[in-house]
Amino acid sequence: MTDPMAFPNLLASWQDRAFQPFRDGVEICPLLEGAPGVALLRYAPGAGVPRHLHPGLETILVLDGVQSDERGDYPAGTLILNPEGTAHSVWSVEGCTVLIQWNRPVEFLP
């Protein structure tokens, strides 16, 4: 990215954006592709992402629903910072949508 980007009214309009399949039960709406990257992720009820390592900072803002990991449950309005070197899996019992930013793509663990 070489030019600044703006997403006016994103908090009021993210529901109307186009999402595409990402993982089983998880959809993505890329806002900035590559590394670093920014996207909206929408989890269907019961969906999750397997255990993975963060090779760079990941920042998540829960917009709707509740996202969970091994450390707890994060309702809408929660800001989550996953520093470089941390690992976890992610799921949502009821479904959720998050705004996510990553410095480098995650590495999935066995």
Q: How many domains does the chain have?
A: 1
Q: What's the pTM?
A: 0.93
Tens digits of per-residue pLDDT, 42-90? 999 999 999 999 999 999 999 999 999 999 999 999 999 999 999 999 9
pLDDT of residue 81: 97
Q: What share of the chain in percent tops pLDDT 70?
A: 99
Domain of 83, in residue numbers = 41-110
* Residue at 98 is within a domain: yes
pLDDT of residue 108: 92
Question: What CATH number is attached to the domain comprising 88?
Answer: 2.60.120.10
pLDDT of residue 2: 72
Contact 83, 54 (CB under 8 A): yes
b/e burial code for range 20-34 (CB count within 10 A of at least 16 → b): eebeebbbbbebeee
